[in-house]
Chains A and B, each alone.
Chain A
Amino acid sequence: MIVICKFQSGYREFDLIIILLLLSPLICFSVGDSVVELDSINIDLMNEQRILQGGKNFQQSCMSCHSLNSFVNDRVAKSLDMTSEKMPVWPDDSWNGHPPPDLSLIALSMSPEWLYTYLRTYYVDADRPTGYNNLVFPNTNMPNPFIDLQGKQVLIDPNFSPSKHLGDHALWYRVIKLKEGGSLSAEAFDDYVGDIVHFLTYVSDPSVHERRSMGVWVLGYLGLFIVITYAYFRLVGKVFFKPLKH
C-alpha cells in the first residue's frame, strides 16, 4: 500500500539498525558448570626465559608420563633436547583405560587458566586410589605430580564434595588450604607451575613469534596501501570524475 507523501527522500537505514540492536538481547553470558573459579594468568610468550624454564620443569615433573609428539621438531624442543625417543608411549589399555594424553595442544583444547588452576588444586582425599583428588578436574586419574614441591593441601570444610558444589564458582583457596609445605615456598611453586603453563602455551602454537613479527609488516604495508589508494582515488576522483555525474 502506498501513502503519497511529500517526504521524498525516504528513511535512512540507521533506525532499522537501532531497532535491530535493541531487539537482539545478546547480553546473556554463558555459565559453565565448574566447581571453582579459574585463576587468571598473564601469559607473556615473548618471555623466552620463562618458556625455557617451563620446558625444564616439564621434563622434570611431567615427561615421565606425558608426550609432546607434535613438538619434537621445534627450535625450543631441540634446545631442550626433547627428542621423539624420549617421549613416553602408553598402550590404550594402560592406566585403567586412561593413559596420560599427549599434551602438544593442551593449552588450546583447555586453556592456560585451566592448566594453571588444575595443576595447583590437588588435595588429600582418602577415597581416591592415588590418595589425591582435584578441584578443577574432579576424580582425575592423574596422580598429584607435586607432592614433593607443593606439599599437602586439604579441604577446609571436610564435608565438601565436588559433585555437590558443581556450578559454585568458589575461589579455590577458600575451599582448600596448605597443610604441610613442600620444598618450594608458595610463591616459588606458583612460578614453577606458571613456567610450565607458559611452556605448554608456547608448545600449543609455536608460530606465535613468527606470527607477531610478520603481522607488523603485513598490517603496516596494508595500512600504507590503504592510505595511498584512498588518497590517489580521491585525487583522481576530484580531477576526472565529478563532471561525469548527472
Chain B
Amino acid sequence: MLMLILSVAFVLFVLLNVLPLFKGLGRWIDARLPVFSFLVEHLSHYPAPKNLNLWYVFGALAIVACAIQFVSGIWLVMYYTPTAEKAFSSVQLIMRDVPYGWLVRYVHSTGVSCWFIVIYFHIFRGLMYGSYKAPRELLWISGVTLLFLMMAEAYTGYVLPWGQMSFWASKVIISLLSSIPVVGNDLVVWLQGDYEVSGVTLHRFFAFHVVGFSFLILLMILLHIIMLHTVGSNNPDGVDIMKHKDRKGWPLDAVPYYPYFVLKYIPIILVYLFVFFAIVFYAPTFYGLFLEAENFEPANPLVTPAHIKPAWYLSPYYAILRSIPDKSLGALAMLLSIVLWMFLPWLDLSPVRSMRYRGWMSRCALATVVSAFILLGYLGLQTATGWYLLLSRVATFLYFSFFVLFPLITYYDRDLQVPERIPGV
C-alpha cells in the first residue's frame, strides 16, 4: 500500500513537469472552480523573505504530520471499538489480524510524537526570531490555541486504547477539573458521563477525539494560514521586508514561495518521512517513549499503577502540576504555563524581533525558559520524590520567572541595530 502511495507520488512528480501541456483544461476548470489561481496566489505569488532557513520548514512539516494523523486515524476508526470491554482487544485485533493494521496503528502512534516534536521546534523558531511581535500577534495566539487543541486531541486519543495508563492518566487529569470552584464537581460528572471514569467516558472521549478536537484543529490551521498570508512571513533577521518594494509592489527582499522554497523544502520533507518511517518500522515503541510499557496492560480500575505518568509531550505541564503542593493551585499553574504564552507579544518590549540582534540578557532568558521546559519534561516522567521534586520546583520557578522578567530584560537589554534590508545571503 505504501509502495503504491510512493509510486503515485513519483508519477505525480513527473506529471507536474508535463502538466503545462494541459493548460487549456486548466483554464476551463479554473473559470468554474478557481483552484489553480488559488494555488498560484498562495504559492507563486506569496512573497517569502529570501533568507528563510531550515527552521521555516517546520510549519510545512506540521501540515504533513497533521495529514498523516487524519489518514491513519480514519483507518483505525474502521476497526476500533470504543467500549470498555472491547477497546483494548480491538486495538490488538488491529495490530494482529487486520492486514497492515500494525502499520496504520504504528503510523498513528509515532505520528503524534513526531507532530509534537515538529511543533515544539516550530514554536522555538517563533521565539528565536520574534515572530510573535507585531503585526503577527493574532497569528501567534492562533498558534498557542493550536498547541492547546493538539494537547486536548492527544489526551483524548491516549485514553482510547484503554490500557492501564490510559485509564489512570485520564482519571488524574479529569479529577483536576473538580478543583474549579462551584461548578467543578458537576463538570466532572458531565464530562465523564458517570460518577467514575468508565466506558461511558471512553465513548465520549472517542467522540471528542474523532470529530471534536480534530475538526477544531483543521479550522484553526486554516485561520493560522490565512493570518500568515495576510501579514506575511517573518524571517531569521526579523527585517520588515514590506518597507522596500519595487514598482510593481513586490518586496525587494522576497522571492516567490513557489518554486524557491517549495523545491528547497521537498527533499527536507522527505528526510522527515525517512526518519518517521525508520521509527515506525524499526523502533515503533521508541524505547517506551512513544508507546509506554504500562499501557500494554488492560485498564484495571482496581489496581493503581505504582507510578502514573503522562505521555512525554505532556510531561512538562504535568511536572509543573506536581511541583506545587496544592492541587487547585497546581492545576491553575498548569493552565497558566500555556496561557501565558499568549501574552508574549506584549511582554516583549524590545524594538527588534530576531535574537540575532538582541543582547545577551534576552538570549539567556530564552535559553533558560527552554531549558527549564526540557528539564520539566524529563522530570514529569520520573517519580516526584526527593531531589526530583526539588529540581522540578526550581524548574517551575525558572519557567514562570521568564514571564515576569522578560519585559524588564527586553526593555533594558542592549540590542543591535537591525539593518534596513536583509543582509548577505
Contacts and interface: CB of A to CB of B under 8 A. Distances in A.
A20 B370 contact: yes
* Contact residues on B (Cβ < 8 Å of other chain), bracket: 35 or more
A2 interface: yes
B240 interface: no
Contacts of A25: 375
Contacts of B357: 10-11
Given A2-B415, A230-B267, A105 B297 contact: yes
B356 A7 contact: no
Interface string B357-386: 101000110111011001100100010000
B266 A233 contact: yes
Contacts of A111: 293
Contact of B415 (A1, A23, A26, A223): A1
Interface in B230-280: 236-237, 252-253, 255, 259-260, 263-264, 266-267, 270-271, 273-274, 277-278, 280
Nearest to A13: B128
B297 A109 contact: yes
B414 A222 contact: no
B411 A207 contact: no
A173 B327 CA distance: 45
B259 A219 contact: no
B363 A15 contact: yes
Contacts of A207: 95-96, 102-103, 106
Given A211-B102, A226-B267, A229-B270, A16 B371 contact: no
Interface stretch (B171-179, B332-340, B416-424): B416-424
B326 to A, nearest CB: 26
Nearest to A109: B296
Interface stretch (A58-66, A133-141, A157-165, A238-246): A238-246
A3 B414 contact: yes
Contact of A16 (B93, B103, B266, B355): B355
Given A15-B363, A16-B366, A218 B281 contact: yes
A23 B368 contact: yes
Interface in A172-214: 204-207, 210-212, 214
Contacts, number: 166
Given A218-B2, A241-B259, A70 B277 contact: no
A215 interface: yes
B423 A9 contact: yes
Interface of B is mostly: helix
Interface in A1-58: 1-5, 7-13, 15-16, 19-20, 23-26, 28, 30
Nearest to A107: B296
A25 B371 CA distance: 8
A233 B414 contact: no
Given A105-B296, A218-B2, A13 B415 contact: no
A227 to B, nearest CB: 8
Contacts of B237: 10
B128 A108 contact: no
Given A8-B417, A236-B263, 16 more contacts: A2-B352, A2-B416, A10-B356, A10-B418, A13-B355, A20-B367, A28-B378, A104-B92, A110-B293, A207-B102, A211-B284, A218-B2, A219-B281, A221-B3, A225-B6, A246-B50
A222 B297 CA distance: 35
A69 B128 CA distance: 52
Contacts of A212: 281-282
Which of A24, A233, A237 neighbours the largest number of chain B CB atoms within 10 Å of its CB? Answer: A24
Interface in B385-425: 411-419, 423-424
A28 B417 CA distance: 41
A12 B237 CA distance: 10
15 contacts: A1-B359, A3-B415, A5-B417, A8-B419, A9-B424, A11-B363, A19-B363, A24-B371, A108-B285, A207-B95, A207-B103, A211-B102, A218-B281, A222-B270, A225-B10
A81 interface: no
A178 to B, nearest CB: 31
B416 A233 contact: no
A108 B296 contact: yes
Given A1-B415, A207-B95, A246-B50, A241 B278 contact: no
B278 A215 contact: yes
A11 B280 CA distance: 38
A22 B96 CA distance: 45
B83 interface: no
Contacts of B260: 241
Given A105-B296, A205-B95, A23 B367 contact: yes
A236 B263 CA distance: 9
